[in-house]
Amino acid sequence: MLHKCVKIIIFLSTTLVFTGLAYSFYSGKLALPEAALPVGWQTSVKQGNSVLLQFYKNEAAIVLDHCNTQKALYMGTMIVYTDTAFMDGSEPLVYHGNEIQYGYVTSAVFLNAPKPHIGIVIDGMAFTLLPSTLTWKRAAGVVTYVSHMSALQCCFTTQDKYIAELNSLVLLYEIGSLFGEQEVYVSYDGGFTYTIFYVASTTMQILGGIYRLPVSGNTVALVQDEQYNFYFRNTENWATSQLSESFPLRDPLYMLEVILVAGLRGHLIVWSPQMLLYSPHDGTVLVPVSEFGHEDSAVPPPDVIVKGVTTAGNGAIAVVTSDGGLYYGRLGLKAVVVKFPTNILEKFGLYPDRVMYFDQYTDLVFLEPMFDQHENRVNFRHSHVHVQQQLTQTSAPVISCPVERFSGDFDGKLFYIDKGDSLKLSLDYVPTPNCPFFPVVTLTNADALHTEELIVMDGTTPDGYKTFIMKIGVKLSTAAEADIEEKGLVTISVDLMEREVSCNNLNPQNYRSCKDYNGPPLTNPDAEYQVLSQNSRNKIVFSNYNGMYLFTAVVVDPHYSFCTLTTTFSVYVYGAFPKRILPYGVLCAIFFAILTALLLIFYLRQQNILTKVLRT
């Protein structure tokens, strides 16, 4: 059996109870650059009321829709929207209107409410874009210069009011400016209209970003103090509440990136070229990310800088460094990544227009645009790095996943719990022999919920492995029972205490050729693998010949086979009918000739009989 380790997530909320340099700075303002444009576009950026959009940095970036893996924005010298995971070519985004002049995009986010759309900041102004119709609309209520926006995506299709409010909240601000001298805006309708967001602060510290944290529900600001340290502060209680310890800035504040990892688990990644930090719980604690096997060594190594970081909703993280190093890890209880043997600099090269992201299989994709000047379209070259293959080839010995199976029926589902209510959840797992482990239930808000766990043995697999069921009882905590005014969202995770990076949250998709990874999409990815066995109706129909047949079997799952896992076997077939002496066509001709002759004889005989009767 192939190893897998699936992180179990459950979301609970109550209805009543709780319930290079591409930018420079002058006087704190963000100055937009003169970016390099594709050949043929240098003199045609603005034609009439149409403006070609481009990212304000020299290094390209990608913005993913965490609720739809097919949708994304490529942001480089062109801004390209896709709803086919960049499998089809697309025209670069062009803004049609009189509001903007240069077309520099500084920030973009995918939004779910009130309907799926994109929030985007162009030339210091906020807009919304409806991708299906390419309809642009400038946001109302914003009267000062802004550079960035932030929002959360909660990917449930429920019409729950709390979820809708969470998806509709957008924050808009300017990075690199004095916090006490700028307007911060908030939208409660998905970025269409904004009002001033009042912050309890008179500080003169520099603002690096404002974020709505998924777990605590707080709105925090990332700021730089006079000693060039940064930290997160609660915007509602600025004077007394410090959410995180301070860290010294190793790069200018405007180069600091904050990733709110999808999945609503409270994981944060804070990185800049010379720094990579991880927070398991909404920024309250920030720890350096270390390399597996070298836990005393932080990433990036000395004299090396971070070139890119990407994360996936299931907890995967990948990091590329300037020396071509590629690191992979799983966000959980530890901040550890393993270095892959593949050197990206040697394999693909490091180019400003190339971006990295996780695909739906949690494999890494390096995306490179190719502009077709004749058709005014952008196609993309996909270069893949298969995670499971790299894990088997790392120099540091990666411990195999301690489970053969780890799954539950509540993965990614939304439940409601009210005062006096309770939930009964369960998951089943199969430990690897001689490799005991302990599932651990964690809560993003332990003050709201109380859980009780019971593990029982459930049987054995056909291979003789023991199977277990973990039963989880969930109810409101005593404090939550007493507070009938609060509501909120709580994430429950079941994880492994000693989980290693080899436990990849993938056995299984249906067939897809690893020789043509970019071929046609799977028409039925939920279908089971077809297995030849005496207990199934699947079969191979041999031709009507005796003889020896040679077969080559290839595992075509792109995560495990890599087009190299093959075997050859033979089958001897006997008892077939004798071969035909004459070809099929000749036999048919003879048959029809005989039939025609018989019919002719019959006809002549009938004519002879009729003649005799008439004579009589």
CA angle 125, 130, 131 (to 5 degrees): 115
> Strand 403-408's sheet: what is its strand order?
403-408, 422-431, 466-476, 449-460
> Radius of gyration (Cα) for the chain, nearest Å?
32
Contacts of 111 (CB under 8 A, 6+ apart): 117, 118, 119, 128, 151, 153, 167, 168, 170, 190, 191
| Residue 544 tokens, joined | 């009507």
* Confidence (pLDDT) at 553: 74
The residue type of 160 is D
* Confidence (pLDDT) at 122: 97
Residue 372 β-bridge partners: 377
Q: 316: part of which helix (H) or strand (E)?
A: strand 316-321
CA distance linking residue 327 with residue 321, whole number of Å: 8
Residue 428 burial (10 A CB sphere; 0-12, 13-18, 19+): middle
What does pTM read for this prediction?
0.75
Task: Indicate the range of 60-64, 211-215, 373-377, 434-438 predicted with least confidence.
Answer: 434-438
Contacts of 374 (CB under 8 A, 6+ apart): none
* Confidence (pLDDT) at 34: 40
Place of tokens 């390419």: 134
Place of tokens 């990185």: 271
Contacts of 532 (CB under 8 A, 6+ apart): 538, 539, 540
- Confidence band for 250, pLDDT divided at 50, 70 and 90: very high
48 compared with 92, residue with greater pLDDT: 92
72-82 pLDDT, tens per residue?
A: 999 999 999 99
CA distance linking residue 260 with residue 262, whole number of Å: 6
Selection from 282, 255, 257 nearest residue 271 by Cα: 257
The residue type of 120 is I
pLDDT greater than 50 at residue 579: yes
- Confidence band for 182, pLDDT divided at 50, 70 and 90: confident
Is there a contact between 86 and 74 (Cβ–Cβ < 8 Å)? Answer: yes
Task: Indicate the range of 179-193, 271-285, 577-591 predicted with least confidence.
Answer: 577-591
Selection from 318, 379, 381, 313 nearest residue 348 by Cα: 381
SS3 state at 597: helix
SS3 state at 478: helix
Considering 229-243, 348-362, 538-552, the range whose residues carry the highest mean pLDDT is 348-362
CA distance linking residue 169 with residue 189, whole number of Å: 7
Selection from 358, 315, 349 nearest residue 334 by Cα: 315
* Confidence (pLDDT) at 528: 57
pLDDT greater than 60 at residue 17: no
- Confidence band for 566, pLDDT divided at 50, 70 and 90: confident
> Strand 72-75's sheet: what is its strand order?
61-64, 72-75, 79-82
pLDDT greater than 80 at residue 535: no
* Confidence (pLDDT) at 412: 75
Report percent pLDDT > 90 for the chain: 33
Q: How high does pLDDT run on average in the chain?
A: 79
Report percent pLDDT > 70 for the chain: 76
CA distance linking residue 202 with residue 181, whole number of Å: 9
Phi-psi sector, 4: left (phi>0), alpha (psi -120 to 50), beta: beta
258 compared with 525, residue with greater pLDDT: 258
* Confidence (pLDDT) at 203: 65
pLDDT greater than 70 at residue 60: yes
Tally of residues, the chain: 616
pLDDT greater than 90 at residue 508: no
23 compared with 381, residue with greater pLDDT: 381
366-391 pLDDT, tens per residue?
A: 999 998 888 888 999 999 898 877 88
- Confidence band for 299, pLDDT divided at 50, 70 and 90: very high
- Confidence band for 3, pLDDT divided at 50, 70 and 90: very low
pLDDT greater than 80 at residue 438: no
For residue 163, the Cα-to-chain-centroid distance in whole angstroms is 21
| Residue 507 tokens, joined | 């056995």
Half-sphere exposure of 406 (CA within 13 A, CB side): 27
Backbone angles phi, psi at 588, to 5 degrees: -65, -40
pLDDT greater than 50 at residue 262: yes
DSSP state of 241: -
pLDDT greater than 80 at residue 228: yes
Q: 233: part of which helix (H) or strand (E)?
A: strand 229-234
CA distance linking residue 199 with residue 186, whole number of Å: 11
- Confidence band for 29, pLDDT divided at 50, 70 and 90: very low
* Confidence (pLDDT) at 327: 95
481 compared with 3, residue with greater pLDDT: 481
167 compared with 21, residue with greater pLDDT: 167
Selection from 147, 204, 143, 203 nearest residue 175 by Cα: 147
DSSP string, 135-157: EEEEPBS--S---EEEE------
- Confidence band for 464, pLDDT divided at 50, 70 and 90: confident
Is there a contact between 206 and 176 (Cβ–Cβ < 8 Å)? Answer: yes
Residue 60 burial (10 A CB sphere; 0-12, 13-18, 19+): buried
536-547 pLDDT, tens per residue?
A: 666 676 666 777
Q: What is the mean pLDDT of residues 407-422?
A: 82
Contacts of 239 (CB under 8 A, 6+ apart): 200, 201
CA distance linking residue 298 with residue 336, whole number of Å: 9
Backbone angles phi, psi at 180, to 5 degrees: -80, -5
Residue 100 β-bridge partners: none
Share in percent of the chain as helix, strand, coil (round to 5): 10, 40, 50
pLDDT greater than 60 at residue 25: no
Considering 149-158, 259-268, 271-280, 288-297, the range whose residues carry the highest mean pLDDT is 271-280
First to last CA, the chain: 90
Residue 450 β-bridge partners: 475
What does DSSP say about strands 8-13 and 413-416: parallel, antiparallel, or unpaired? Answer: parallel
Q: 515: part of which helix (H) or strand (E)?
A: none
Contacts of 283 (CB under 8 A, 6+ apart): 213, 220, 232, 243, 244, 268, 270
Is there a contact between 144 and 172 (Cβ–Cβ < 8 Å)? Answer: no
pLDDT greater than 80 at residue 601: yes
* Confidence (pLDDT) at 239: 64
Torsion of CA 192, 269, 381, 40, to 10 degrees: 50
- Confidence band for 94, pLDDT divided at 50, 70 and 90: very high
